[in-house]
Structure 1
Amino acid sequence: MKRIWIIGLLFLAACASDEIKRDRFFLQGNEALNNRDYRSAINYYTKAISIDKDFARAYNNRGVAQIETGHAYEAIQDYNIALGIDPNYQDALFNRAYAYEEVGRLDDALDDVAKVKLQYPDSAYVYFYEGLLQSKLRLYDESQASFLKAAALDPANEEIDINLATLYYFKDQLDSAKQLLMKVLKVNPQQLNALNTLSQVYLKEGDIQNSLITINRAIDLQPADPYLLNNRGQIYLEMGELDKGLEDINKSILQDPENLWAYRNKGIYHLMNGNTTDAIRLLEKAISKRELVDEVHSYLGQAYQLQEDMTKACEQWLIGVEKKESRSVKLYEEHCQ
């Protein structure tokens, strides 16, 4: 009996030692994650997992680091393992929704958010994120309901108001969009996203002068912002100042080569110049399942129309109709019915 008792003590000591090492690696991983040293964070979390295969928090946090290094599928794997260990692990569930969004699996992301919402029915951020996903899926009425619920839970959150205004913009409810944006700008006159969205609302109304004035207010505050430059480029195109427009759009792409809206607008530039080959190439580049780029199919259809290929033109406009593009609806009704 005495010998067994000694072995038991040694075993307990070894377990305690392993737990200390596991926790040390985990804390080092957290520190690296906070310092944005994501590769080191992954390494530390992996070491913690090698000691304890059922360490759900390490899998979750490694997933966060994986996302930051562009490995969304690996992150999903880590979140799946974490949830396999602890099915009620809400952080892993919410993080997996982000990862699903990153790879274009928006329906799966919404499913995860719905599960989180059951546990946190009073979280403004959960409703806000749900609204963002729904807007990407063009579920505009559902998105509006989610944003309104988020706004009721957090009335002072200007980001909720701006995204709700953006949704109104997509739904062509321009007066409602302006009202919300003016409310935000009254409190915070330098809110870049509000200025940017308001400029787009003016442009959609045909008020090009106020659109240009508003976007220039934003650019004065942040001259190198790629989205602001791209949107001013679009305004210049609408004004017929094509060279100025192209200059801003090219600057935008240089600052952010992943800005799909800029490729759309550069496609529009070539369309306006009658260069349909480059227009089609750039407009197709702007199409993505992961990001809502408004009216891209309407312009792509016009490019095919200029090439006298009405079959492809109508195909693109029909896709635009399904994606609730107002220009596509008009063009499809005029040319394809």
Structure 2
Amino acid sequence: MKKPQLLLTLLILLLCLLWSPIARAATSDLTLDELLNRAFSTSQAGQFARAEDYWSQIIDRYPDNPAMWSNRGNVRVSQNLLQEAIADFNRAIELAPDAPDPYLNRGIAYEGLGRWDDAIADYNRVLELTPDDAIAYNNRGNAEAGRGRWENAIADYSKATELDPGYAFARANYALALYETGQTENAIRTIKNLIRKYPNFADMRAALTACLWENGKVGEAESNWVAVVGLDPRYKDLDWVANVRRWPPTLVVALDRFLNLRSMAF
């Protein structure tokens, strides 16, 4: 056998071993602390499929620990495995019905499925258990926005920022909801204040781009857009903006006009 063929054969053999049941079973020798460290580190690194496997192994050992079910649900949400995630959160809630986190996390999964009323019910439950939870208010605002109830969303975003003045994304959502309800001056003022405080806040620079373009301030809009593209090019994808980031419809239309008319100009 020639040497390159030998190396290729050895590489294929190595890959087979890595993915074999024997190799995967090796993690069964890990202690709980080691499994937890790997589960958390892979979750934080965005290696969600690997993290899910580690959480599953922990659940196999400790099936009555609600936090483990909730953690696996989170990495499943990150993989857009929303039904599977909801099943995990359901189990966590069965085990710990008075713990707020599984309700909060399940609400996020319900939002991903467009089940706004179910999400709102979960956030309401979180607020019954922890009345000062700024994240629950922000998330309920998102679900209210999904239902098209913008005034309710504004009230929730406002409460979230009252509880946590440093919660920049809640204030950003507040600004976008103001714009949707025709309160454009207040919206733009809030957006500019956020950019002044957080110059690399791509979401707000993209929103300001759309607002400025609608107001005929072409040069300022272009200047902000250059910064947006450098910070987060996903804002060039209107589908992502509308359905993942979930901007309000009026602002999505404004950004669409900017992108289309800009492309024609160039």
- 1:122 pairs with 2:92: no
Residue 90 of structure 1, aligned match among 53, 62, 66: 66
Aligned to 1:193: 169
Task: Give the partner amino acid of 1:58.
Answer: E
Secondary structure of 1:70's aligned partner: coil
Secondary structure of 2:221's aligned partner: helix
Give ranges in structure 2 of 5+ residues lacking alignment. 1-24, 261-266
Aligned to 2:148: 172
Structure 1 residues 133, 250: CA separation in 2 closer, same or farther (over 3 Å shift)?
A: farther
Structure 1 residues 214, 88: CA separation in 2 closer, same or farther (over 3 Å shift)?
A: same
Aligned to 1:146: 122
C-alpha contact 2:134 2:163 (8 A) present in aligned 1: no
Residue 113 of structure 2, aligned match among 124, 134, 137: 137
Task: Give the partner amino acid of 2:236.
Answer: Y
Secondary structure of 1:73's aligned partner: helix
- 1:249 pairs with 2:222: no
Matched residues in 1 for 2:83 and 2:222: separation?
36
Q: CA deviation at 1:183?
A: 3.4
Alignment of 1:157-306 (within 5 A): 157-186=133-162, 191-257=167-233, 260=234, 262-264=235-237, 283=238, 286=240, 291-294=244-247
Matched residues in 1 for 2:66 and 2:164: separation?
34
Q: CA deviation at 1:146?
A: 0.6
Aligned to 2:5: none
Matched residues in 2 for 1:76 and 1:51: separation?
13
C-alpha contact 1:211 1:235 (8 A) present in aligned 2: no
Task: Give the partner amino acid of 1:213.
Answer: R
C-alpha contact 2:74 2:105 (8 A) present in aligned 1: no
Task: Give the partner amino acid of 1:98.
Answer: N
Question: What TM-score, normalized by structure 1, do the two folds share?
Answer: 0.60
After superposition, what is the alpha-carbon deviation per residue over 1:64-105, rounded to whole angstroms, capped at 9, x for unaligned? 211222321111222222223332343332221122112221
C-alpha contact 2:64 2:95 (8 A) present in aligned 1: no
Aligned to 1:72: 48
Matched residues in 1 for 2:53 and 2:163: separation?
43
C-alpha contact 1:60 1:92 (8 A) present in aligned 2: no
Matched residues in 2 for 1:254 and 1:114: separation?
40
C-alpha contact 2:76 2:85 (8 A) present in aligned 1: yes
After superposition, what is the alpha-carbon deviation per residue over 1:15-34, rounded to whole angstroms, capped at 9, x for unaligned? xxxxxxxxxxxxxxxxxxxx
Which stretch shows the higher mean deviation, 202-211 or 80-89? 80-89
Matched residues in 1 for 2:59 and 2:151: separation?
44
C-alpha contact 2:66 2:96 (8 A) present in aligned 1: no
C-alpha contact 2:114 2:146 (8 A) present in aligned 1: no
Secondary structure of 1:234's aligned partner: helix
Give the number of equivalent residue pairs. 230
Structure 1 residues 288, 215: CA separation in 2 closer, same or farther (over 3 Å shift)?
A: closer
Residue 31 of structure 2, aligned match among 55, 62, 68: 55
Matched residues in 1 for 2:65 and 2:30: separation?
13
Q: CA deviation at 1:292?
A: 4.9
Matched residues in 2 for 1:234 and 1:154: separation?
37
C-alpha contact 1:212 1:235 (8 A) present in aligned 2: yes
Secondary structure of 2:29's aligned partner: coil
Secondary structure of 1:223's aligned partner: coil
Q: CA deviation at 1:190?
A: 5.2
Aligned to 1:35: none
Question: What TM-score, normalized by structure 2, do the two folds share?
Answer: 0.74
Q: CA deviation at 1:255?
A: 2.1
Task: Give the partner amino acid of 1:146.
Answer: D
Q: Percent identity?
A: 15
Give ranges in structure 1 of 5+ residues lacking alignment. 1-48, 265-282, 307-337
Structure 1 residues 288, 200: CA separation in 2 closer, same or farther (over 3 Å shift)?
A: closer
C-alpha contact 1:200 1:211 (8 A) present in aligned 2: yes
Structure 1 residues 101, 176: CA separation in 2 closer, same or farther (over 3 Å shift)?
A: same
Matched residues in 1 for 2:229 and 2:30: separation?
44
